[in-house]
A and B are shown apart, each in its own frame.
Chain A
């Protein structure tokens, strides 16, 4: 299989869907000649022209609102929000309009749209360009939230998101754009709401997503040398959440750690722990369930502070050791 980057996988999914379905279009800031702030849509203007690569003023509220309006009458917009932080300027059309239209109108409306947004810290861009806000989105009925960690998952999940009949927030991690992985040439999709086991193990289940999957895998390698066998489960879709796969894994390992970059308080780790406590896996637990998350702070500028604000490989290693060695 050919290897492509995470960035290329986003683009390939969009390009293939735009070729297949003329209702699909991309709308956002600087997505044409500039190629998007992270270069994801570079070259798409040349292929599809300004009618389908719709470059907007700096007006996030109107971008998401316009995408929702277009979706309501049958188009399939993909809106790019340059940094996830800016979705906060567009919460009204997303939460009060797009998310609720179908329900309010008795199931008669559909709002098939995707909002792509790069999340996360690690670039030194500080507090207003580094947030992981997926939990806020997960809280809203009517919205689906996807957060892929590999190029393969990106492509399969983005195609499914574009074809989905609901508003889907597609959360890309900006540090992963350069990450490479195998992606088949032929078309494939990955259904929303299905987790993936990224590494099999028997001592502990680590649930993580986005960049934390990679950090968890690195931690697992280190721990393997000490004889600790880690299973890494990537939900891939945070909403709907595949509780079943996680529960089965926890039943097998008897321990669970959830790792995310988003801040700890009211983060989705809590949702996963609560969900697991509602399943039979609860009876199989040999240790308290734990979570390792971003500290409850805005992301600082100084690189050492920035690194200290979110879980690093070493933190994951130590936390797993503590759980497995019954320190809690």
Chain B
């Protein structure tokens, strides 16, 4: 790994070969391939979204997560369909990893009536409330307070699921994190806090704007167990998230995980990347979560080069279909602009 800006030891195992690790984690070969496929799906989906943006078909702004697929898939594979998800602005990967229908996602990006939010929300506010996905958020840290309430309601309603709230390293500096931690801790709420540390909040390097990293110390200060994981190691993320989710699921209270990763694209569409070097970006691309996993799977003969080609073809086709579904979908009628304000 290139020197991370957060100097600390990871809590996940990474010594053994992939099959031994998979066995320990009760993951079958099929599971491993599925994880790989989802990572490819996310990468290709975002590349398409970026292309459509350049063509003017997707507008507004968009926050791409390329480079962070290890966190998304390691996490998504652990979580249950019934768990609640509070996503953030850079959340395409998490949404796909939690089982999103990419047709409806693409339609939302194109502002169509058939999109997840009927074209009202766009990439930054995409949600699937029926599936317990309570939305991406345009407000940095916007899901952190909601998480305490969702956790509280899970307890009140005696549901057996948990809430996963995802936010960036930048969001970890919003004061609300402490209020939410404290509430979750005093009431033993089933909240899994996942801080996706891609090392920058826009142009702000995490170490420049954060008093102490890794952030797990902040959780521990509230008596919440904290873990620090290599986010580009999808199995490492899976392992730690599995333990974390289990902690919350068995009603031992909240838990915090910080996954170290890196974003390749600029922050959003207005970023000229002046705050980091090309060399740094390149060094991280060499630690690509997809590339690393692919090598492991090839070495262990879980997949072959031919399988990989096939997966790419299949995913590209699925994404092309999503684009054509979106493009052939109707736009909302402007006279419906006042719909959905009140229930």
A residues contacting B by CB (< 8 A) are: 29-30, 32-35, 37-39, 55-62, 85-86, 89, 123-129, 295-298, 300-305, 307-309
Residues of A near B208 (CB, < 8 A) are: 55
Residues of A near B171 (CB, < 8 A) are: 58
> Are B337 and A295 interface neighbours, CB within 8 A?
yes
Contact of B175 among A39, A62, A301 (CB under 8 A): A62
> Are A32 and B203 interface neighbours, CB within 8 A?
yes
Residues of B near A55 (CB, < 8 A) are: 204, 208-209
B residues contacting the other copy or chain, number (CB 8 A): 43
User: Is B132 at the interface (CB under 8 A from chain A)?
Assistant: no
Residues of A near B142 (CB, < 8 A) are: 128
Kindly identify, within residues 132 to 180 of chain B, every residue whose CB is under 8 Å from any CB belonging to chain A: 137-142, 170-171, 173-175
Most buried by A among B120, B140, B331: B120
User: Is B20 at the interface (CB under 8 A from chain A)?
Assistant: no
Query: What 0/1 pattern do residues 106 to 149 of B give for CB contact below 8 A with A?
Result: 00100110000101111011000000000001111110000000
Label chain A's interface by main secondary structure: loop
B residues contacting A by CB (< 8 A) are: 59-61, 108, 111-112, 117, 119-122, 124-125, 137-142, 170-171, 173-175, 201-204, 208-210, 270-271, 274-275, 331-332, 334-338, 341
> Are A129 and B138 interface neighbours, CB within 8 A?
yes
Q: Give me 12 other A-B pairs in contact (C-beta within 8 A), A58-B141, A127-B120, A305-B336 excluded.
A: A57-B204, A58-B140, A58-B201, A58-B209, A62-B175, A124-B59, A127-B125, A128-B138, A301-B108, A301-B125, A302-B112, A305-B334
Separation of A295 and B125 alpha carbons in the complex (Å):
20
Top 5 nearest A-B pairs (CB, nearest first) are A124-B60, A128-B138, A301-B122, A302-B111, A57-B173
> Are B60 and A123 interface neighbours, CB within 8 A?
yes
Residues of A near B117 (CB, < 8 A) are: 301
With A30-B202, A86-B139: A59-B125 Cβ-Cβ less than 8 Å? no
> Are A58 and B170 interface neighbours, CB within 8 A?
yes
Residues of B near A59 (CB, < 8 A) are: 173-175
B149 to chain A, nearest CB (A): 17
> Are B119 and A300 interface neighbours, CB within 8 A?
yes
Residues of B near A297 (CB, < 8 A) are: 337-338, 341
Separation of A216 and B128 alpha carbons in the complex (Å):
40
With A32-B203, A128-B139, A300-B119: A305-B274 Cβ-Cβ less than 8 Å? no
B334 to chain A, nearest CB (A): 4
Residues of B near A127 (CB, < 8 A) are: 120-121, 125, 138
Separation of A300 and B111 alpha carbons in the complex (Å):
9
> Are A124 and B338 interface neighbours, CB within 8 A?
no
Residues of A near B140 (CB, < 8 A) are: 58
Most buried by B among A55, A56, A308: A308
> Are A128 and B125 interface neighbours, CB within 8 A?
yes
A236 to chain B, nearest CB (A): 28
Residues of B near A29 (CB, < 8 A) are: 201-202, 204
Separation of A86 and B270 alpha carbons in the complex (Å):
19
Residues of B near A308 (CB, < 8 A) are: 334-335, 337
Separation of A56 and B208 alpha carbons in the complex (Å):
9
Separation of A119 and B332 alpha carbons in the complex (Å):
25
Residues of B near A61 (CB, < 8 A) are: 174-175
> Are B124 and A128 interface neighbours, CB within 8 A?
yes
A27 to chain B, nearest CB (A): 13
20 A-B pairs with C-beta separation under 8 A: A29-B201, A29-B202, A34-B202, A37-B270, A61-B174, A89-B174, A124-B59, A126-B120, A126-B122, A127-B120, A127-B138, A128-B125, A296-B341, A297-B337, A300-B119, A301-B108, A301-B111, A301-B121, A302-B112, A307-B334
> Are B204 and A305 interface neighbours, CB within 8 A?
no
Separation of A38 and B269 alpha carbons in the complex (Å):
11
Separation of A55 and B202 alpha carbons in the complex (Å):
12
With A126-B60, A129-B138: A304-B334 Cβ-Cβ less than 8 Å? yes
> Are A33 and B121 interface neighbours, CB within 8 A?
no
Separation of A33 and B267 alpha carbons in the complex (Å):
14
**Chain B residue at minimal CB-CB distance from A300:** B120
> Are A302 and B275 interface neighbours, CB within 8 A?
no
B340 to chain A, nearest CB (A): 8
Most buried by A among B59, B117, B335: B59
Residues of B near A307 (CB, < 8 A) are: 334
Separation of A128 and B140 alpha carbons in the complex (Å):
11
B88 to chain A, nearest CB (A): 12
Residues of B near A60 (CB, < 8 A) are: 174
Residues of B near A124 (CB, < 8 A) are: 59-61, 122
Separation of A307 and B331 alpha carbons in the complex (Å):
13
Contact of A305 among B203, B210, B332 (CB under 8 A): B332
B24 to chain A, nearest CB (A): 38
A317 to chain B, nearest CB (A): 18
Residues of B near A62 (CB, < 8 A) are: 175
B272 to chain A, nearest CB (A): 8
Separation of A35 and B203 alpha carbons in the complex (Å):
10
Separation of A173 and B21 alpha carbons in the complex (Å):
54
Residues of B near A125 (CB, < 8 A) are: 60-61, 124, 138
